[in-house]
Amino acid sequence: MKGRVKWRKILYERQSFPDDYSGGDEFLKELRTNVSSVKYSFVEAMCGASRVVLHEDAIVIYALVFSWMRRLPESAPYIFLFLLVIILPFYALYAVLTCVRWSTLSDHLFTLLTLVFFGYALTPVISSNEHHVIFAEVFLFLLVIIFWQKCSRLVSSVKYSFVEAMCGASRVVLHEDAIVIYALVFSWMRRLPESAPYIFLFLLVIILPFYALYAVLTCVRWSTLSDHLFTLLTLVFFGYALTPVIRTLTDTISTDTIYAMSTMLFILSFIFHDYAMSAPVVSMILSVNLSLAASICLVSRIKSDETAFTLLAISMTLFSYWPILRNELIVRYPLSPLLLVILLCPPTLVMLYYRSSAILAVPHLAFHLFVFLMCPWILIKMQSFKSTIHGPWDEACPDERSA
């Protein structure tokens, strides 16, 4: 009977086949594998990995600046001026990329002035007279982010090339560098607090071209540009005014507890950070707040209000505004993370080696190599083991074109 009568996939007519009959060999002819899988090149994988590297570098830079300003608190004014010099071009780049309007520019300027005013006013509240420098705790989060990055990539049904895997891994490296940079600046400004104004000016100088790049990428209009300028001025004025208050907020807490809290907050910010990818764990607002909370904890170990305000300004730049520009570049230019890693990671490694500790520079370099090269390579190799099947058992998807 089965050889004479052809089975039809219908329900409105009784057929001479069992109820569990599904077509036999004809059923498997509709089997398809890896329909939605996309293969990534090694360069694309490196670009993805560079996002993590850049954020890690930002954290390292902050730690270095903290260490430097703690040793040289008199350098706080210079660091603050340097920060302003860096911020301006980066903001101009951001305005060009996003087409910032004048209204938005005024809002940004007002926000900047507010942050500066209140930040400086609250600085004495979160500062004390103890002298301790910490770097090792910053690297405790490395193992966590490695496993998270690996799992978040493997659960996807998309196949990546090695380049694409490197691009994805670079996001983690960039964020880790941001944390390291902050730690280095913190250490430096704690040693040389008098360098704070120069560091702040240097920060402004760096920000201007980056904002210009962001403005170009996002086609910022003049109204938006004015809103950004207004927000910037608000952050600067209020941040500067509130710095004495912020600096003494955790004055009664022991230094060891402060460093442990900062480490845990940086780890959490690293996990929830936005690496320009869709994931349930991503929360940019939470990541920024955690980074700022960690920065406030570190600032409490600073004597000078000017030094503390400079560190707060650097923290806002590295953990709030820098990720916005970085993600905008990644969206518009997928291979840009590779260039960012090349430009940011070597200087961060050199500063960590000469300004902090050679012992810490080695694991920092090893982390970069693992996330930036090994993780993309592992991802590419594991793609061959991935296989998804699709067939007539899948849910029906309406075709809008046929409708």
pLDDT band, residue 397 (cuts 50/70/90): low
Query: Average pLDDT for residues 22-47, to the nearest whole number?
Result: 73
Reply yes or no on whether the pLDDT at 246 is more than 50: yes
- For 276: left if phi > 0, alpha if psi spans -120 to 50, otherwise beta; the answer is left
Query: Average pLDDT for residues 161-172, to the nearest whole number?
Result: 75
Residue whose entry in the numeric block shows the structure tokens 């707060």: 312
Q: What is the mean pLDDT of the chain?
A: 75
Q: Minimal CA–CA distance to 67: which of 297, 341, 317, 352? A: 352
Confidence at residue 159, expressed as pLDDT on a 0 to 100 scale:
63
**Model confidence pLDDT, tens digit, residues 352-367:** 888 777 788 888 888 8
pTM confidence score: 0.66
Confidence at residue 149, expressed as pLDDT on a 0 to 100 scale:
42
CA torsion angle 242 81 330 152 (round to 10): -50
Contact indicator for 243, 120 with CB cutoff of 8 Å? yes
Confidence at residue 55, expressed as pLDDT on a 0 to 100 scale:
83
Confidence at residue 118, expressed as pLDDT on a 0 to 100 scale:
58
Confidence at residue 90, expressed as pLDDT on a 0 to 100 scale:
82
Confidence at residue 152, expressed as pLDDT on a 0 to 100 scale:
42
Q: Minimal CA–CA distance to 321: which of 171, 210, 157, 401? A: 210
Query: Average pLDDT for residues 369-396, to the nearest whole number?
Result: 77
Reply yes or no on whether the pLDDT at 46 is more than 70: yes
CA distance 226 to 215: 12
Q: Minimal CA–CA distance to 202: which of 93, 77, 320? A: 77
Q: Cα angle at 251 between 248 and 257, to 5 degrees? A: 130
Tell me the helix, strand and coil percentages in the chain, rounded to 5. Answer: 65, 5, 25
pLDDT band, residue 129 (cuts 50/70/90): very low
CA distance 289 to 266: 10
267's tokens: 């780890």
- The DSSP secondary-structure symbol of 5 reads S
CA distance 240 to 288: 19
pLDDT band, residue 104 (cuts 50/70/90): confident
Confidence at residue 145, expressed as pLDDT on a 0 to 100 scale:
40
Q: Which string of b and e fits 177-212 if b means at least 16 CB within 10 Å? A: bbbbbbbbbbbbbbbbbbbbbbbbbbbbbbbbbbbb
Reply yes or no on whether the pLDDT at 132 is more than 70: no
Of 44-58, 122-136, 276-290, 353-367, the one with minimum mean pLDDT is 122-136
Q: Minimal CA–CA distance to 277: which of 114, 400, 140, 158? A: 158
Structure-model confidence comparison of residues 243 and 158, the more confident one: 243
Q: Quote the radius of gyration of the chain (alpha carbons, Å).
A: 26
Of 12-21, 197-206, 233-242, the one with minimum mean pLDDT is 12-21
285's tokens: 């607002």
Query: Average pLDDT for residues 208-222, to the nearest whole number?
Result: 81
As a whole number of angstroms, the longest Cα–Cα distance in the chain is 96
CA distance 403 to 295: 56
Reply yes or no on whether the pLDDT at 299 is more than 70: yes
Query: Average pLDDT for residues 91-112, to the nearest whole number?
Result: 77
CA distance 251 to 385: 54
pLDDT band, residue 395 (cuts 50/70/90): low
Confidence at residue 146, expressed as pLDDT on a 0 to 100 scale:
40
Could you give the 3-state DSSP secondary structure of residue 390?
strand
Reply yes or no on whether the pLDDT at 37 is more than 60: yes
Query: Average pLDDT for residues 320-326, to the nearest whole number?
Result: 85
- The DSSP secondary-structure symbol of 239 reads H
CB atoms within 10 A of CB 70: 27
Amino acid occupying residue 332 = R
Could you give the 3-state DSSP secondary structure of residue 39?
coil
